[in-house]
Amino acid sequence: MSATLKNVAVSEGHTDRVWSLSWSPSGSLLASCGGDKTIRLWKLKDDNSLECIHTCIDTHERTIRHVCWSPSGQYLAAASFDSTASVWKKVNNNGEIALEMLARLEGHENEVKSVSWDASGSLLATCSRDKSVWIWDMDEDEEFNCVAVLHGHSQDVKAVKWHPSKEILFSSSYDDTIKAWEDDEDDWYCSHTLTGHTSTVWDVSFNSDGSKMVSCSDDNNLIIWDTKVIGDGPKQVCTLSGYHTRTIFSVDWSEEGYIASAGADDSIHIFREDGPGDSSEDKKVSFSQTSVERKAHGGDVNCVTWRPAKREDGTILLASCGDDNLIKLWALEISSDVQIMVKFRFQKPPYMIMVTAIHMVEVLWLSNHC
């Protein structure tokens, strides 16, 4: 199987490196932040280009490291090196979309590195170089209360990410581990520590149903973890090595099953789990690289993120940003030489299968034709 990335847009605007990107859940807006201490909102236009529609300046005193939209798309959280996190509300002033600051979350001793909303949108996690992970609860009045201050990592915590459906928080750190945090009657505790990487773990991401997690590291490897049953702890099922030649900073798993990873080797790699037909008869999980973009950015690629919704024409979009101050959009083009295995049973009345691209099988009901 192969699928390639085609660069469809390059957006300038940030005046320093771009650190992080987050698509709104509908995919209509992309938020970005960076070393220029700004948060920018970009509108995705029909021609797949990005138009900057709003810029927040003078809100953080230092670099803004990470941004994350809430599941409702109403709130954006941002993490800054000025030791605070901020929460913004999306407002619509006569058709002009803007962000208004709702709360500033203080408490970390130094640089806040990452923020993440849980699936319900009421819990927000933050993590910092101070080695701690904090969990905040947003109530109906949009008030924030700290519900946990979690110590456990022995070093800088690089990223936090909630499980897509369960109330379990994952954090990854400079101490080479990933920790899972769960609560017991309002008291949060570290339920599992995942070891496998041999250097800093920079980021984690889940597949759409949360049964698997991928992590990326300074050891140049990606590790796939089985997170179906958390009980005994996530199990390492597969390691992807030999692809990246330098630190992998960012990883994102698309709804369609594609893993994008990017890092200090300026490249973006795309992987996909091998189907049962591709792999040997034993049920080992394996992944293959479907595409690589070697010079994706003119410097470190800091973040890659899939657009959560397909375009009307079925195009899957990936956004990336880097030390070259740029944001780029990529379309995943699926080559036509692929074999498609479709198990389909015709029923009455007859259906027609229309294949637009791999793994996108649209079924149309036709009245009296064919």
> Binding residues for other proteins, per CB under 8 A?
35, 63, 81, 106-107, 109-110, 129-132, 134, 143-152, 155-156, 186-190
Nearer to other proteins, 183 or 226 (CB): 183
Nearer to other proteins, 175 or 293 (CB): 175
Nearer to other proteins, 123 or 334 (CB): 123
Nearer to other proteins, 6 or 151 (CB): 151
Whether 123 contacts 167, CB under 8 Å: yes
Rounded to a whole number of angstroms, the minimum distance from the CB of residue 240 to other proteins is: 28
Measure the CA–CA gap between 262 and 295, rounded to whole angstroms.
Answer: 11
Rounded to a whole number of angstroms, the minimum distance from the CB of residue 233 to other proteins is: 17
Q: Which two tokens stand for residue 348?
A: 């009455």
Rounded to a whole number of angstroms, the minimum distance from the CB of residue 235 to other proteins is: 24
Rounded to a whole number of angstroms, the minimum distance from the CB of residue 319 to other proteins is: 22
5-to-67, 240, 248, 261, 307 alpha-carbon distances in Å: 24, 20, 18, 13, 14
Rounded to a whole number of angstroms, the minimum distance from the CB of residue 37 to other proteins is: 11
Nearer to other proteins, 100 or 106 (CB): 106
Rounded to a whole number of angstroms, the minimum distance from the CB of residue 183 to other proteins is: 11
For the chain, report the end-to-end CA distance as a whole number of angstroms. 31
Phi and psi, residue 233, nearest 5°: 100, 145
Nearer to other proteins, 17 or 307 (CB): 17
Nearer to other proteins, 154 or 195 (CB): 154
Considering only CA atoms, which of 167, 221, 171, 174 is closest in space to residue 196? 221
Measure the CA–CA gap between 149 and 172, rounded to whole angstroms.
Answer: 16
Whether 163 contacts 149, CB under 8 Å: no
Phi/psi-derived region of residue 115, left when phi > 0, alpha when psi is between -120 and 50, beta in every other case? beta
Nearer to other proteins, 185 or 313 (CB): 185
Q: Which one-letter amino acid corresponds to residue 295?
A: K
Q: Which one-letter amino acid corresponds to residue 37?
A: K
Measure the CA–CA gap between 35 and 222, rounded to whole angstroms.
Answer: 27
Beta strand 201-206 pairing with 212-217 = antiparallel
Q: In what order do the strands lie in the sheet with 169-173?
A: 157-162, 169-173, 178-184, 187-194
Rounded to a whole number of angstroms, the minimum distance from the CB of residue 148 to other proteins is: 6
Rounded to a whole number of angstroms, the minimum distance from the CB of residue 228 to other proteins is: 26
Measure the CA–CA gap between 103 and 64, rounded to whole angstroms.
Answer: 16
Which residue(s) pair with 343 in the sheet?
none
Nearer to other proteins, 146 or 355 (CB): 146
Half-sphere exposure of 10 (CA within 13 A, CB side): 9
Q: Which two tokens stand for residue 367?
A: 């009245």
Rounded to a whole number of angstroms, the minimum distance from the CB of residue 109 to other proteins is: 6
